[in-house]
Amino acid sequence: MSIRQQKKERMRNIIITAAQEAFTEQPYDTINMEQIAEKALLSRATLYNYFETKETLYLEIGLKAWQEMQQAIPPIIANEPTGIDKIMKLTPIGFYGVLENPLGYDILRRYMENNNQADTPIEEIYKRYTTKELENLPTSSDTVKLRYFHELQKYIQIWVEIIQQGQIDGSIRDDVSPIHLSQITFMYIAGMLEQLVLQKEALKFIQLPIENTIEIMIDVLRKALEP
């Protein structure tokens, strides 16, 4: 990477970090590009040179989060002996991570909602590309939705491989394909996270600690995955 490219990448990261702080502090709809420029200590013109829209910048934050999670997972599960042990190690981290910092989940939810309403879903576009092409997409506003989806798929593939290992070592049921079981697991976790956020005050009202709730949810997932 040339010095010019390094400087450009450094500036992109500065902007993404500033935007992440802004979106963490305020809801998406209340933030504008001028506020992000101010937080990054840049002019609006400079900001627009790097990111054309607020949506593009929002997705770049989520894309970076998927990349960071991909890097974080291997050392976390390295010492877990079976597939189910790896799943049980990762799941509570996911629950508490989203509750402490819900931005990444909010980005995913908005992305999926918009994709469901699109004339051409991203899945259809994604199938037109080879893996090599996806890994070498230019970093631009035109490709951000595709790049985001690609990083999400790479993250899900980690779970697919863990489930495959569990099916081989006998700790995870093998009557459902790994890709289907990983998607169901992903949907279950996402659904439970949604309810934890929505029911937060209700849990307080009935004096049910969130830690106990998460423990039971994880136990239900274990029983669903075991043979």
Model confidence pLDDT, tens digit, residues 61-113: 999 999 999 999 999 999 999 999 999 999 999 888 888 888 999 999 999 99
Query: Which are the contacts of 72, defined by CB distance < 8 A and separation ≥ 6?
Result: none
Reported pTM: 0.91
Nearest alpha-carbon partner for 189 in 102, 99, 91, 105: 91
Same domain for 34 and 70?
no
pLDDT band at 1 (very low <50, low <70, confident <90, very high): low
Same domain for 179 and 208?
yes
Count of domains observed in the chain: 2
Q: Tens digits of per-residue pLDDT, 4-28?
A: 788 888 999 999 999 999 999 999 9
Same domain for 8 and 100?
no
Same domain for 33 and 58?
no
Cβ–Cβ < 8 Å for 193, 105: yes
Q: Which domain holds residue 36?
A: 1-51
Query: Which are the contacts of 93, defined by CB distance < 8 A and separation ≥ 6?
Result: 76
Amino acid, single-letter form, for residue 51: F
Same domain for 10 and 63?
no
Q: Is 38 helix (H, G, I), strand (E, B) or coil?
A: helix
Same domain for 195 and 93?
yes
